[in-house]
Amino acid sequence: MKSFWNDSLARKYQKDALALRVYTSRLIGREPSLVLHGGGNTSVKHSIRDSFGKNIDVLYVKGSGWDLSTIEKEGFAPVRLDVLQRLAEFKTLSDSDMVKIQRSAMLDPYAPNPSVEAILHAIIPFKFVDHTHADAVVAVSNTPGGEKRIRDIYGSRVLLVPYVMPGFILARKIYEMTRRVDWKKLEGIVLLHHGIFTFDDDAKKSYQNMIRLVSKAEGYLKKKGCRITSGRRIRKTIEAPKDLLELASLRRAVARAAGIPMIALWDTGPNQLALSKLSGLRRVASQGPLTPDHIIRTKRIPVVLGRDFEKDVLTFVSDYKKYFNRFASSRHTRLDSAPRWAVWPQKGTIAFGKSAKDAGIVSDIARHTSRAILWAERLGGWRALPPKELFEMEYWELEQAKIKKVKGAPVFQGKVALVTGAASGIGRACVEALYAQGAAVAALDIDPGIQKMFQQESVLGIMCDVTNPRSVDNAISAAIRRFGGLDILITNAGTFPPSERIAEMKPKTWQKSLEINLSGHQRMLQACVPYLSLGIDPSVVVVGSKNVPAPGPGVSAYSVAKAGLTQLARVAALELAPAGIRVNVIHPNQVFDTAIWTREVLEKRARHYGMSVAAYKTNNLLKTEITSQNVADLICVMAGPVFAKTTGSQIPIDGGNERVI
Ligand code: ZN
Q: What angle do CA 643, 648, 653 make, to 5 degrees?
A: 65
Whole-angstrom distance, CA of residue 42 vs CA of residue 321: 36
195 CA from centroid of ligand 1 (Å): 6
pLDDT tens digits for range 87-136: 999 999 998 899 999 999 999 999 999 999 999 999 999 999 999 999 99
Question: What pLDDT was estimated at residue 237?
Answer: 46
CA atoms within 13 A on the CB side of 20: 24
The residues that are catalytic are: 558
C-alpha closest to that of 86 among 46, 59, 66, 126: 59
pLDDT tens digits for range 500-526: 999 999 999 999 999 999 999 999 999
106 CA from centroid of ligand 1 (Å): 22
268 CA from centroid of ligand 1 (Å): 28
pLDDT tens digits for range 348-385: 999 999 999 999 999 999 999 999 999 999 999 999 99
162 CA from centroid of ligand 1 (Å): 13
pLDDT tens digits for range 330-353: 989 899 999 999 999 999 999 999
DSSP letters of 519-557?
IHHHHHHHHHHHHHTTSSS-EEEEE--TTTTS--TT-HH
321 CA from centroid of ligand 1 (Å): 27
Question: What pLDDT was estimated at residue 402?
Answer: 67
Q: What is the pTM of this model?
A: 0.92
DSSP 3-state of 37? coil
273 CA from centroid of ligand 1 (Å): 28
150 CA from centroid of ligand 1 (Å): 17
C-alpha closest to that of 164 among 152, 177, 151, 150: 177
Question: What pLDDT was estimated at residue 289?
Answer: 93
Please tell me the least confidently modeled range out of 5-14, 29-38, 136-145, 595-604.
595-604
485 CA from centroid of ligand 1 (Å): 35
388 CA from centroid of ligand 1 (Å): 18
Whole-angstrom distance, CA of residue 579 vs CA of residue 582: 9
Strands 459-463 and 440-445: parallel
Whole-angstrom distance, CA of residue 516 vs CA of residue 496: 10
Whole-angstrom distance, CA of residue 329 vs CA of residue 326: 9
Domains of the chain, each with CATH number or no CATH: 7-223 (3.40.225.10), 241-399 (3.40.225.10), 416-591+627-653 (3.40.50.720)
* Mean pLDDT score of the chain: 93
507 CA from centroid of ligand 1 (Å): 70
Question: What pLDDT was estimated at residue 635?
Answer: 98
pLDDT tens digits for range 296-327: 999 999 999 999 999 999 999 999 999 999 99
pLDDT at 559 over 90: yes
Please tell me the least confidently modeled range out of 203-217, 422-436, 606-620.
606-620
130 CA from centroid of ligand 1 (Å): 10
151 CA from centroid of ligand 1 (Å): 20
DSSP 3-state of 2? coil
Span 275-296, mean pLDDT? 91
636 CA from centroid of ligand 1 (Å): 42
39 CA from centroid of ligand 1 (Å): 7
DSSP 3-state of 204? helix
